[in-house]
Amino acid sequence: MTDMKKKQVPMMAALFIAFMVAWAPKAAAMHITEGILPASWAGIWFLVVAPFVFMGLRELRIRSARSIHFKPLIGLTGAAVFVISCMPIPVPVVGATAHPCGVGLAAILVGPTITALIASVALTLQALFLAHGGLSTLGANTLSMGVIGGFSGYAVFHLGKRLGAGTWASAFAAGLIANWATYSGTALFMALALARNGEWFSMFLAIMAAFAPTQIPLGVLEGFITAGAYSFIMRRRPEVADMDRMGVAT
């Protein structure tokens, strides 16, 4: 890759995100909407997710110093997560939306901690410019999508590889499980905050049931998207796998 092309990649990613901000259809919500969570619960999830975002920033700095190609990869991965998660299907019963997440693909490309950072940025942009989600629920949404979804997808992918599953099958499972894990987290956070008389588990099951008709097929669809995209990237740019194995300096 020439120096000129290296400079153009992050610029193209930024322009792509800007285009999608202007083009993406408006929706009532993205993940948990503004005002759904009481202030106490919203604050708790901010505190829980903060260490993961800081670890993502640290890993980004370290790995960017090791490879000049890493920041362009982060820019393109972030654009992909932003676009994929801008496809909402309203679920008005629970005050949220169902949609693909993109974090399974991100996690197996750049690692789970950086995926948490990417998710926080994507969700912030969506809250500010698309009225998807909200700033008060940003901690909960980042925790469910970036941490629970990202780490689940990453773990399933590498477990599949260790058990002898092929790359395609492992990537499919990563996309599928990351999507379903994200919505399990979202349902749990809403149930804990909104349940009365300690009946949080009953509310959790009710919210999961509300998500199921849309999220089960969307999870399968995201599995195919993740497997197809990852297989394509590995054929064209196999060195991306080395960036994931690079790890974090101690």
List, for residues 79-115, the tens digit of each pLDDT value: 989 988 887 666 655 555 667 889 999 999 999 999 9
pLDDT of residue 121: 94
pLDDT of residue 217: 87
Report residues of the chain scoring pLDDT below 70: 1-30, 88-98, 241-250
pLDDT of residue 88: 66
pTM of the predicted model, to two decimals? 0.81
- CATH code given to domain 14-20+27-245: 1.10.1760.20
Q: Say if residues 112 and 124 touch (Cβ distance below 8 Å).
A: no
Enter the tokens of residue 228.
């197809």
Find the helix packing angle between 112-129 and 39-66, rounded to 10°: 120
pLDDT of residue 16: 41
3's CB contacts (< 8 A; 6+ apart) are none
pLDDT of residue 25: 37
List, for residues 188-207, the tens digit of each pLDDT value: 999 998 888 778 999 999 88
DSSP H or E stretch at residue 91: strand 89-91
Q: Where are the domains of the chain?
A: 14-20+27-245
pLDDT of residue 245: 56
